[in-house]
Structure 1
Amino acid sequence: MDTLRGRDIANDHDEVDYAVEDPAIEAPPEIGSDERRMHVRAYNYWASLLGDRALPSIEDLNPSDIEDFGPHSVLLDFTVGVDDPAVAYLGGALRRECEIERHIDHISEVPSRSLLSRLTDHYLQILANAAPIGFEAEFINQRGAEIVYRGILMPFSSDGDTIDFIYGVINWKEMASRDLTDALVEEVDQALRSAPQSIGTRPIWADGPSGESSRMAEFGDERMDSLDDDAGLADRLALARDFAQEAGNSDARTRSALYRAIGLAHDFALATRDAPEDYAEMLEDAGIAVQARSPMTAVIKLIFGVDYDKTRVTEYATILDYAQGMMMPAGSLADHLEAYIGGIKGLVRDVRASRRPEPAAKADPAIEARAKLRVAPAIAPAALPVDADGLAVVVARREADGSVSIVAALPDGAKLTQQVIAATA
């Protein structure tokens, strides 16, 4: 597309680079070709309705007739108000995904943790930009499933000038849960550990096409010990990155390689204390800023990459914080993770549990009330709230000299006042 008004589309499967072609549309990461094509087809459909107008006419839109992406769409009507627009149309596929069984009239009725709520959250951007907005992210839905989605919102008008309708199209995928994938990795790793080792055929020439990968797979543990105590910070970083890359590429030894990578990250973090200037230069070159509340995050990003999964970055940084707090020596963290019950997940869970503050003990209201009444000023009898019969329920305090002071009284007409009078009569 050349402008926000689009161009003539000969083939509605053409790929569109939103970030380059259309700065008003955000450029989300890839989900897959099917979802990307639906995203593009929806935009091309919107552009085909423009003609010579600034905005497509709502009269030209009938979502129920769009077999392609109509079931994945929603139409919002702003003629009833901007704060709570009406839901004029909701596609069947989107309704089923959100488990919406009843009819909904306004977006205030949209379930808060549903996929539809993620789409409707963006509608104010359309009103501000007067142009289509693309977006993509992931979240945990109402079923507790991890969903990755891509959507686009497109403005429509009833008079050619005012945006009073917004048409949204969204597609999604349900991802396997992290607990499931971690459990599968654990099972595969245990099976490989218990299986007899086989000796494969290796190329004779060490500098052959697979020489480096063979050395990494066969001599990984020796490489950990190959650095001298006085090795430079750059060498330690390179070694840690090697194992981080191996952990990402290896299927057979993922957990062991990952433990070694995290262990080397701890060793690198310890070494930065002796070379702070070199470390600062590395961070600057990588465009990484150190967070005061979590300095180990910078170490993990430097080793695993700035685009590494944010959840994993947080977990690995938590492990490094733990190792630093325990004053673990260099070379010891990988073995510690191997022996820890539950591995990475178990250690992170226990560390986070230990950081949660103990709930404050609830004060006994009776004790607090007595403490107040012990020092409360005396009430003059003439100021007591009495009923029609001149009766009052009071709290009296015996003073040190033996006299009695009235320090509180129940209000006249209170139910408790009548109950006390009845009980004492």
Structure 2
Amino acid sequence: MIADHEQDDPAVAIGTDERRMHVRAYNYWSSLLAGRDFPSIEDLDGRDVSDFADHSLLLDFTASSDNPVTSFIGAALRAECEIGDEVQTIADVPPRSLLSRLTDHWLQIVANRAPIGFEAEFTNQRGHDICYRGILMPFSSDGETIDFIYGVINWKDGIAAPTPVLTLVAEDDVLDLVDGIEPEAEDAPPVLGEDAGLADRLSAARETVEVLKAADGRSRAALYRALSLAYDFAVASRRVPDDYAELLDDAGIKSQARAPMTPIVKLVFGADYDKARLTEFAAALAHAERCEVDFEGFLPFIEQFPGSLKGLVAAERDARRPDRRSDNRADKARVLLRAANAQPLSALAGNDEFTLVLVRRDATGKVEPVCAVPDLNLLEKAFRHLS
């Protein structure tokens, strides 16, 4: 494991040596593959990454796939972000910090199942313009599942001259530095008048999506602008339902009463956009609507929301999850199981090799078997959970 340590004067200039830092990080990751899809997390040795450990982050997904633990944050990165031990998971990461720029890309790692590099600029929590470059690399505990991600990021305080962009050529598994691409600036969202038509709003949102696609999805600023314009488009569509229905018909997209934001994101991002991402975008917009976010209020809402986009998605999923206490069938089952006689395990096991058994704890704390659960699907789920 990587041990955190202090550094009094962390380097922040993005120069030749610092660009090579990311190449060294990738080469180190690649050296651990040994013919596997992903290196083993057991092979990640803090002594081997000492020259960039202070600029690195380790995410642990073993406890939660939606809100990974920040099991290691380098000292230089902590100092830049002005954070301490209060940041324990992704949801705790301050939205306007450099750390959030690193953690915002973790879903791409899971989707692409390969390292990704990225570069951009933004205004941090102190109001400083920061140029940054980072790389995220997947690790696994079983050789198949991505349950750890190791990232390295470097930055410069202040707008710099155009610098190389770090990209990954996935098909060759090599890291290229492509010169001549200027870092992306975080401009304000396009301004549309209150009288703007629905088609104009859709066009403006799609233009921002094109900026996002040109950056291979690595621009958080462009993504949030696109989502903000998509939300305003959704609000405006309620006012002119006939115009909205016509746009859906022209695009060959069906309205969805149970998921009204799904057609919105398909219109804005394209029906052929990554389906998992579209689902997340729709959930984020739906939660903003649930929270009664005002027209043109989505951008500050998502930037201030704990966990930003990932936090919105998780909050919406929690809001949609039915309250088990309101499930009448579950309530009836609880009543019956409380009154049922305890059974010996030998009577419940049957003739199968494995049996899923429900146990009950009474008022005195005594645990006793009550019944076998014959559902083979639940048994298979239990196997997968235990593995």
Q: TM-score of the superposition, structure 1-length normalised?
A: 0.37
RCO comparison, higher one (Cα < 8 Å, 6+): 2
Larger Rg: 1
